[in-house]
Amino acid sequence: MSRGAPVLASEPRAAEAPHRRPARVVARRPAIGLVLAVLTLALVAAILFAAAFGAVALAPDALVRMSLNHLLGTHFPATWRAQDEAIFFAIRLPRVAGAAIVGAALAGAGVLLQGLLRNPLADPYALGVSGGAALGAAAGFLLSLSFGVLGFSPVPLLAFVGALVAMAIVYSLAQVGGRAPVVNLLLAGFAISAMMGYAVSFLLILNDRLQLNLPRVYSWLLGGVSVSQWSQLGLVVPLVGLALLGGWLLGHSLDALSLGEEAAQQLGVAVERDKRLVIVLGSVLTGAAVAVGGLIGFVGLFAPHVMRLVVGPAHRRLLPAAVLLGAAFLVLADLLARALLPPTEIPVGILTAFVGGPFFLGLLRRERREYRL
Amino acid sequence: MPIRSVPTLAALVAAALLALGALAPAQAQGQSQTMFPSPITVTDDSGVQTTFNAPPQRIVSLNPGHTETVFALGAGDRLVAVDSYSDYPPAAQQIQPRLTTYPSVSIETIVSLKPDLVLALVERDDVLVPLRQQGVPVLKFLPKDFQAATEEIATLGRVLGTPDRGAALAAQMRARRDAIVQAVAGAPRPRLYYEMDASDPTKPFAAGPNGFYGQLVDLAGATNIFGDLPGDFSQVSAESVVARDPELIILADAYLPYNAQTPALVAARPGWDEISAVQTNAIYAIQEEYFAWPSPRLADGLESLAYLVHPDRFAAAGGVQLSTKDGVEPYCAPGQSPSFSFGFQALSEALGPSMGQPTECAHADVASGDTYQQTTKGLAIYRRADNVPSFTSALGRWALTADGVVEQDSGRSDTP
């Protein structure tokens, strides 16, 4: 991105006229089609790049040839070791695809929850999800269960369930007279998240047998994309895809909600129904992301904000752009997690904040006007 | 008056010592324990010097390894508290109170027990300072390698007033290590992957070069595929495991209370079927407690690992013979000798000599309720969850089900 885009520089400075809503220059923002095309290209490039590198160096030409053998049935002679093929197809590609899905889901959930809560600090975990997921995961570690669904083990499954349960609890606690005021949602979410988070710490302390293995539990909580079987993606991809489509269809409602609930009501939006839908879709997206990637921070906060700076706040433009950016960003962050210190794996949550933070702050500084949701 | 002044002075000194807490318990109990001919001064791994005038009589152990060592030195009856992991030898399970050491140990509880020796392992120095300020002698023994572990066992023997026993124990461990090193010398060193936890099988925790497990891998005559890791252990990518193609996989996570791994689960991980160890079914479960902390059982762990790595070098010896302690076999009560009973007996009758002879008495894991018994050929396991006795060895895994003996988790067709 070139520095000081003329579109933004010519806008009236909100800081100088704080009481006047600055005229939105929607027409002079980059065309949404162009932005989406660029982001799609970026995502494809990120995926190819991430597939080419990893803890183990594989020759790019061999990768191309083994891929052609797989996809098109060509018969290039194998100049590579059998395990190279296993590494590429069974371990690396599912992981890259998983990172893209998790990034997309987190960014989508971030857009939905920021729109719903009208709060710039809202992220996919705002409604108690992080605490619920952590508690579910800890239960998965402690209960020594053995069951699985399409390649998911108890820990991610219970994390998914914990995320949904936490959000349901938050929603029911926040309800006052048939409405769920945004402030109540935020505060209930904060309280439930903190309570469940500390319940996890308490469980870990109570369970003496687990203590030697605390690094393992904490490493899960720090987040890391884990796809051990393609079948897992068969479950997650349709779930995330449908939830994102649903979120996009709710885009106009979210736009109306940004004017306030009363205004939205007057515009004909079924406010409480649509809020409930947004919460359900957001929790499905976040829960799916948590099941594949643990608690990965910052993506869901950062991708929506960045794209709001570029394409504006209209949700039907914002959502697909943020989803593409989130996917590309997490694919690259996960590449770093795999390849920065081989053979050691770094929890990807550390990298998302380290890499995404400065980028976002730089963009915020460049904007030179008050940031608005 | 001159005659009286001597006991008065002695009383003053005793009072001062009481205040320091150094000799208080021995005096309070009226045990006229023999004093050392000359005080013994020990510098521990915090760099703190402690002087002992008499062997400690009230010992608190904060680590299962130190508990084992105290028992091995014949001083188990002097333990007044142990940490909650200390379950070996079985007598250690009876000791109360059992202290929780995570996230930190209760200093108040320890002080109230009036110990004259606290044995620490990983506790940070700032946790131990308050204890030392209360006049409680603390020895932090955090040996970094096998040799240091034996030296600290000898040191502890001197402190506990059993120097000959400590020296003999240390010498015995070193001799057993040397015998293993000699036995595997010159043999090819197979690539070995030591797995510590695979809660996330795409990013398992693996042993690095340090830590006792890493060193035992070296001593047993294998090449650790993650010998290049910076620390004791690290979370590694599955890609690297496959690329480094281990010839042996050692599962230290087969008996974890959660996400326990089996050879079948390892073989089923995507991409892992290209690994040599998976193709030859060289995946073995071991019990982490023989590998994880400094104790006399490190020598047992080393021997059992060496047998898995180089079975040909130990075949004549009939497999691994776990050492006896004071004539008592591991996990056995005095007078008891290892034998198969209940389900293990039935399994042994069905499997015949391939199950080997028991080298220890059956013992339960406190957390899971599962029962284990090491044999000369492998490990017998009874899982409470499925009520099935099974046996795992280098040749495969067999379980005694309602339908009789079935071979599990193994692609091999040969029966025992």
Domain stop point among B265, B289, B317: B317
- Who has greater pLDDT, A349 or A189? A189
Residues B150/B174, Cβ–Cβ less than 8 Å = yes
Q: Is the pLDDT of residue B412 over 50?
A: no
Instruction: Say what percent of chain A tops pLDDT 90.
Output: 40
Same domain, B8 and B102: yes
Q: Which helix (H) or strand (E) holds B105?
A: none
Residue A342 to residue B237, Cβ atoms within 8 A: yes
Q: Is residue B181 part of a domain?
A: no
Residue B243 to residue A215, Cβ atoms within 8 A: no
Tokens of A292: 């594949």
pLDDT at residue number B30: 39
Closest CA in chain B for residue A217: B199
Question: For A324-338, b where at least 16 C-beta lie within 10 A, e where not — what string?
Answer: bbbbbbbbbbbbbbb
Domain ranges of chain A: 87-366
CA distance A115 to A278: 9
Q: Is the pLDDT of residue B202 over 50?
A: yes
Please give the average per-residue pLDDT across A38-61, as a whole number: 91
pLDDT at residue number A216: 66
Domain stop point among B83, B114, B142: B142
Residues A178/B296, Cβ–Cβ less than 8 Å = no
pLDDT at residue number B369: 65
Residues A250/A274, Cβ–Cβ less than 8 Å = yes
Question: What are phi and psi for residue A152, nearest 5 degrees?
Answer: -85, 135
Q: Is residue B246 part of a domain?
A: yes
Of A143, A208, A216, the CB nearest to B205: A216
CA distance B347 to A110: 57
Tokens of B43: 């510098």
Neighbours of A67 (CB within 10 A): 17
CATH class of the structural domain A87-366:
mainly alpha
Residue B200 to residue A226, Cβ atoms within 8 A: yes
Angle at B327 between CA B325 and CA B331, to 5 degrees: 55
Verdict on whether the full-model pTM lies above 0.90: no
Indicate the pLDDT class of residue B288, thresholds 50, 70 and 90: confident
- Who has greater pLDDT, B11 or B64? B64
Please give the average per-residue pLDDT across A11-36, as a whole number: 59
Angle at B311 between CA B307 and CA B314, to 5 degrees: 75
- Who has greater pLDDT, B403 or B384? B403
Same domain, B273 and B226: yes
Stretch among A44-58, A142-156, A278-292 having the lowest mean pLDDT = A142-156
Residue A55 to residue B239, Cβ atoms within 8 A: yes
Our CA-based measurement puts residue A83 at a distance from the nearest CA of chain B, in whole angstroms, of 5
- Who has greater pLDDT, B196 or B2? B196
Amino acid making up residue B21: G
pLDDT, averaged across chain B: 81
Q: Is A7 on the interface with B (CB under 8 A)?
A: no
Residues B84/B99, Cβ–Cβ less than 8 Å = yes
Question: Counting beta carbons within 10 angstroms of the beta carbon of residue B122, is it exposed (0 to 12), middle (13 to 18) or buried (19 or more)?
Answer: exposed
What are the pLDDT digits (tens) for A62-80? 888 888 888 888 888 888 8
Our CA-based measurement puts residue A91 at a distance from the nearest CA of chain B, in whole angstroms, of 6
Residues A78/B263, Cβ–Cβ less than 8 Å = no
Q: Is A159 on the interface with B (CB under 8 A)?
A: no
CATH number of the domain within which B61 lies: 3.40.50.1980
Within 8 A of B100 by CB-CB distance, chain A residues are 205, 208
Q: Is residue B338 part of a domain?
A: yes
Instruction: With a threshold of 0.85, tell me whether the complex ipTM lies above it.
Output: no
Residues A107/A125, Cβ–Cβ less than 8 Å = no
- Who has greater pLDDT, A43 or B261? A43
Per-residue DSSP letters for A78-106?
Answer: --S-HHHHHIIIIIIHHHHHHHHHHHHHH
Stretch among A140-154, B80-94, B191-205 having the lowest mean pLDDT = A140-154
Q: Is the pLDDT of residue B105 over 70?
A: yes
Q: Is residue B93 part of a domain?
A: yes
Q: Is the pLDDT of residue A264 over 60?
A: yes
Question: Counting beta carbons within 10 angstroms of the beta carbon of residue B222, is it exposed (0 to 12), middle (13 to 18) or buried (19 or more)?
Answer: buried
Tell me how far apart the terminal alpha carbons of chain A are, to the nearest angstrom. Answer: 22
- Who has greater pLDDT, B235 or A145? B235
What are the pLDDT digits (tens) for B21-78? 444 444 434 344 578 888 999 999 989 999 999 999 999 999 999 999 999 999 999 9
Domain stop point among B275, B300, B317: B317
Residue B275 to residue A226, Cβ atoms within 8 A: no
Q: Is residue B182 part of a domain?
A: no
Q: Is the pLDDT of residue B416 over 60?
A: no
Judged by DSSP in three states, B38 sits in: coil
Q: Is B51 on the interface with A (CB under 8 A)?
A: no
Q: Is the pLDDT of residue B386 over 90?
A: no
CA distance A66 to A82: 11
Neighbours of B104 (CB within 10 A): 11
Q: Is the pLDDT of residue A129 over 50?
A: yes
Q: Is residue B74 part of a domain?
A: yes
Please give the average per-residue pLDDT across A42-66, as a whole number: 90
CA distance A261 to A182: 9
pLDDT at residue number B391: 83
- Who has greater pLDDT, A31 or A7? A31
What are the pLDDT digits (tens) for B119-144? 999 888 888 888 998 889 999 999 98
Q: Is the pLDDT of residue A32 over 70?
A: yes
Same domain, B294 and B196: yes
Within 8 A of A83 by CB-CB distance, chain B residues are 242-243, 245, 271, 274-275
Torsion B142-B147-B149-B151 (CA) sign: negative
Counting the structural domains of chain B, the total is 3
Residues A204/A211, Cβ–Cβ less than 8 Å = yes
- Who has greater pLDDT, A210 or B364? B364
CA distance B278 to B271: 10
CA distances A264 to A42, A186, B268, Å, are 36, 20, 53
Our CA-based measurement puts residue B100 at a distance from the nearest CA of chain A, in whole angstroms, of 7
Residue B259 to residue A338, Cβ atoms within 8 A: no
Same domain, B219 and B305: yes
Same domain, B67 and B104: yes
Domain range holding B402? 324-416
Residue A216 to residue B197, Cβ atoms within 8 A: yes
Per-residue DSSP letters for B349-361?
Answer: HHHGGGG--B-S-
Please give the average per-residue pLDDT across B81-102, as a whole number: 88
Judged by DSSP in three states, B317 sits in: helix
Q: Is the pLDDT of residue B3 over 60?
A: no
Most confident of the ranges A108-112, A119-123, B83-87, B320-324: A108-112
pLDDT at residue number B408: 66
pLDDT at residue number B43: 94
Q: Is residue B352 part of a domain?
A: yes
CA-wise closest residue to B377 among B341, B337, B340, B408: B340
Q: Is the pLDDT of residue B147 over 60?
A: yes
What one-character DSSP code corresponds to residue A55? S
Residue B257 to residue A342, Cβ atoms within 8 A: no
Q: Is the pLDDT of residue B10 over 60?
A: no
pLDDT at residue number B381: 81
Closest CA in chain B for residue A146: B259
Most confident of the ranges A110-124, B60-74, B192-206: B60-74
pLDDT at residue number B192: 97
pLDDT at residue number A145: 66
pLDDT at residue number B216: 93
What are the pLDDT digits (tens) for B291-346? 888 999 999 889 889 888 987 777 544 444 443 334 446 666 666 778 888 888 88
Per-residue DSSP letters for B117-185?
Answer: EEEESS--HHHHHHHHHTT--EEE----SHHHHHHHHHHHHHHTT-HHHHHHHHHHHHHHHHHHHHHHT
Q: Is A213 on the interface with B (CB under 8 A)?
A: yes
Q: Is A142 on the interface with B (CB under 8 A)?
A: yes
Angle at B235 between CA B192 and CA B140, to 5 degrees: 90
Same domain, B17 and B112: yes
Q: Is the pLDDT of residue A349 over 50?
A: yes
Same domain, B286 and B362: no
Our CA-based measurement puts residue B103 at a distance from the nearest CA of chain A, in whole angstroms, of 7
Please give the average per-residue pLDDT across A346-364, as a whole number: 83
Q: Is the pLDDT of residue A20 over 90?
A: no
Closest CA in chain B for residue A148: B259
User: For residue A152, what are the β-bridge partners?
Assistant: A149
